[in-house]
Homo-oligomer: A and B are copies of this chain.
Amino acid sequence: MGIKITGIEYYLPKKIETLTDLKKANKKWDTKRIFHATGINKRFISAKNEDAIELAYKSAKKILNKFDKKKINFLIFVTQTSPYKLPSAACILQEKLSLSKNVMAFDINQGCSGFIYGLEVAKHLLEGNKSFNHGLIVLSDTYSKFISKKNSSCRPIFSDASSSVLIKKTSNNFIGNSEFGTDGRGAMSLKLSNKEIFMNGSKIALFTLSEIPNFIRNFCKKNNLNKNNFKLLALHQASKYVCEKIKDKLQIESKKIFFNYSAIGNTVSSSIPIILKECDRKKIIKKNDIIIACGFGVGLSWGITKIKWSNLI
């Protein structure tokens, strides 16, 4: 018994914001230095009337254009920026997508580790609940609505985005084992109460570089993964500095890792689904390839899993 990923779609808002745009609003910013650290020049910014639920709708709809919505048994909405404290965004999306009234729909609040968390929950719901055969994980955030143009630690990094991942119960297992970590001592290093996101970027980077390379190394050891038997490390796209450092520390070949932060920024919980979709489209990953996916960040929270690739709808 197991599950597999059978569909991934994503949506990026139309509006693009570059470092040049930010320089206009912040004459004193050293955008060369910022670019050197982040590697990010353009990011996607949701329109005023485009909230996390609307973005989610746009990627989920792409899946449901190819797959019968009546077959969806549960909807997991991973978000930290729903316009509502209540009800859960998943309930609103259930109606927008005209999903069955029998779906189990709920939100999971997680950020950069959110895809690994959502996938683990979805996997065990599908495997364990006899009446479930298909689940939809939707990941959507609009961090930009909570980051002013003057916020130099956050604005040059985060993109708004949504992604939707269709998963299916199967006789063979394509996902797992997964491992997780949480360290609330770093909770205040990236936080949002109401209006403006605060990030202590160097604290988050320090944590990441002290924790994540070992976390990945140990996971590979336990799962007998080495450079000969995995095809891709799909890493959360935190920034150039963090991604390159992890790559160096693990001494991973360039062809085994795929970076897209420069083109789309840090899309929080959508970063890994977007990498998987892009690598599938570019035939960097093919059926039966082994992928390691690792998300980490806000929380602090991190997670890792192994994915055996299968064809997407």
A interface residues, Cβ below 8 angstroms from B? 74-75, 80-96, 99, 101-111, 117, 120-121, 123-125, 127-131, 146, 177-185, 187, 190-194, 197, 298-301, 303
Contact = CB atoms under 8 A, between A and B. Distances in A.
Ordered nearest first, which 5 A-B pairs have the shortest CB separation? Answer: A95-B184, A124-B128, A104-B180, A107-B109, A124-B124
Contacts of A184: 87, 91-96, 105
Contacts of A82: 109
Nearest to A89: B109
Contacts of A110: 88, 106-107
The A interface, classified by DSSP as helix, strand, loop or mixed, is mixed
Contacts of A90: 109, 182
A83 B124 contact: no
A85 B125 contact: no
Given A84-B191, A109-B109, A187-B95, A102 B298 contact: no
Given A80-B86, A111-B87, A104 B182 contact: yes
A74 to B, nearest CB: 8
B91 A187 contact: yes
A120 B109 contact: no
Given A83-B193, A90-B109, 6 more contacts: A87-B184, A87-B301, A88-B110, A89-B109, A105-B184, A120-B129
Given A95-B183, A124-B125, A194-B194, A130 B298 contact: no
Of A102, A128, A178, which is in contact with the most chain B CB atoms at under 10 Å from its CB?
A128
B103 A180 contact: yes
A67 B81 CA distance: 35
Given A101-B182, A108-B106, A197-B86, A91 B301 contact: yes
A49 B140 CA distance: 31
A124 B117 contact: no
Of A86, A89, A124, most buried by chain B (CB within 10 Å of CB) is A86
9 contacts: A85-B192, A86-B190, A87-B111, A91-B182, A94-B182, A95-B183, A102-B182, A124-B129, A128-B128
A179 B83 CA distance: 28
Contacts of A146: 85
A232 B39 CA distance: 60
B85 A81 contact: yes
A226 B197 CA distance: 53
Contacts of A183: 91, 94-95, 101
Contacts of A92: 184, 187
Contacts of A99: 182
A124 B125 CA distance: 6
A168 to B, nearest CB: 16
Contact of A101 (B80, B104, B128, B181): B181
